Amino acid sequence: MFDIKQVYEPMCLKSALEIYQNNPHLTIIAGGTDVLINLRHGKYEEVELLSLQKIKGLDEIKILEDGTIEIGALTTFTKIFRNDIINKHVPILAEAAVSMGGPQIRNIATIGGNICNGAVSADSAPALFTLNALLYLETANASRTIPITEFYAGPGRVKLQPGEILTKILITKDNYENFKGKYFKFSNRKAMDIAMIGVAVLLNTTDNKVNDLRIALGVSAPTPIRCQEAEKTSLGLELTEENMKRISELTILDAKPRDSWRGSKAYREHLIKVLTYRALRELRGNK
């Protein structure tokens, strides 16, 4: 059924990176919820897999001394939405995690796999875009950090270099402290369906005036995006009904949704505006 030639199952990251360096044609498999579907659909022939599943320590969530939240790339969505650090400091990511797939998928699907498959519908992406998350990528002899907002190269494509493995996702304190966030996933079915539209909004205000507003969209362009026009215009504005509507309307200037069987372009544009407005109203509270 699966055309698999070989599976490498290293027990530590160092071995995984060395094997990958010597065999850059290998396909990485983490939870396998995308890779196995692709195999089933005959996308790979005689594939050689490099499994990350037996590597210890890549599924931890912790806070570093400077307040940065570190999430191991192999952390499952179940672990993310149940984690105390995530729920306390970046609940927007818990909302995104619990919205993805169903319980069985969330139990094995990893956040690293969700990012590296490059899907524009990836539920983690809009929340991580608003949090200005950083991706820590390692090879056998080097490492680099890249903002997630620069990692996507097009539909299903990301900027992984040969031999590179995503090992950690980092969210610095200045990108979550004093922010409130909301993620809305809109899909045709309530569970086990990918997003028709995903909208994440992260807000920092003083006396109901915007200090920093970040709006990110999934399934609204060839890659997840930030709504820069709306964000720029919002700075310093009071969150009145009128201004929240104005900000929501401006999201469309960056969005480029398309028609598909899941929903028309016009419907998606409508959803982007409505969901942004709802998120703002909810985050503002009863002012």
Whose CB is nearest to ligand FAD? Answer: 113
Q: Which of 26, 12, 118, 129 is nearest to 74 (CA)?
A: 12
Query: What's the farthest any 2 CA atoms get from each other in the chain?
Result: 61
Of 115, 58, 61, the closest CA to residue 83 belongs to 61
Cα 177 vs. chain centroid, distance in angstroms? 19
| CB contact at 8 A, 124 and 93 | yes
CB 198 within 8 A of CB 217: yes
* 112 is a contact residue toward ligand FAD (CB under 6 A): yes
Residue 181, token pair as written in the block? 């966030």
Selected from 16, 30, 80, 86, the binder of ligand FAD by CB under 6 A is 30
Q: Which of 165, 196, 247, 272 binds ligand FAD (CB under 6 A)?
A: 165
What's the chain's length in residues?
Answer: 287
Residue 205 found at the interface with ligand FAD (CB under 6 A): no
Is 29 a binder of ligand FAD (CB under 6 A)? yes
Q: Which stretch binds ligand FAD (CB under 6 A): 28-36, 228-236, 239-247, 272-280?
A: 28-36
Helix locations, the chain, DSSP H: 13-22, 35-40, 77-82, 84-89, 91-99, 103-108, 111-116, 124-130, 228-234, 241-250, 265-284
The region of 21-29, 199-207, 251-259, 270-278 touching ligand FAD under the rule CB under 6 A is 21-29
Please give the span between the terminal C-alpha atoms of the chain, in angstroms, as a whole number. Answer: 58
Check binding of 197 to ligand FAD (CB under 6 A): no
Stretch that binds ligand FAD, among 7-15, 99-107, 128-136, 147-155 (CB under 6 A): 99-107
Among residues 28 and 247, whose Cβ is nearest to ligand FAD?
28
- Long-range pairs of 141-146 with CB within 8 A, sequence gap ≥ 24: 141/21, 145/170
Residue 28 interacting with ligand FAD (CB under 6 A): yes
Report the nearest approach of ligand FAD to the CB of residue 137 (Å).
Answer: 8
Based on the shown chain and the rule CB under 6 A, indicate whether residue 37 belongs to the binding site for ligand FAD.
yes
Q: Per rule CB under 6 A, is residue 122 in the interface with ligand FAD? A: yes
Residue of 75, 78, 83, 110 that binds ligand FAD (CB under 6 A): 110
Task: Give the binding site for ligand FAD (CB under 6 A).
Answer: 27-35, 37, 52, 73, 100-101, 105, 109-110, 112-114, 116-117, 119, 121-123, 160, 165-166, 192, 194
